[in-house]
Amino acid sequence: MRHDDNRFPPTPLERQLNAVLALLIADREEHRSETAPRTETILARAGLDDADIASITGRDPSDVEAILDRDRPVSVLDRARARMTRSPA
């Protein structure tokens, strides 16, 4: 996939690859276990941006961004900060 600011219409090969990828995603989602990474996370790790992932999965780009934010691992420091800033119950 191209990752530049000037979007060009997809080439026939890109359309065909997107179709194959969409079929693989549909099959994966149907058989995915709860502990497996989400499809959006796998695609992001492969280098696709939110807009590309949204077009392949049929989701809204803001939904993809939320999924990726939710799946992003939280560092030990961030967990400690959250615990320290939590108000006492």
Residue-wise pLDDT for 36-76, tens only, equals 888 888 888 888 889 989 988 889 999 999 999 888 877 88
Answer with the residue of higher pLDDT: 28 or 60: 60
Residue 66 to residue 58: CA distance in whole angstroms: 15
Q: What is the pLDDT of residue 5?
A: 55
Task: Report residue 60 as tokens.
Answer: 């809204």
- The SS3 call for residue 85 is helix
Domain boundaries, given as residue ranges, for the chain:
12-85
pTM, entire model: 0.60
| CA dihedral angle for residue 52, residue 57, residue 58, residue 62, rounded to 10 degrees | -60
Tally the C-alpha atoms within 13 A of residue 54's C-alpha that lie toward its C-beta.
13
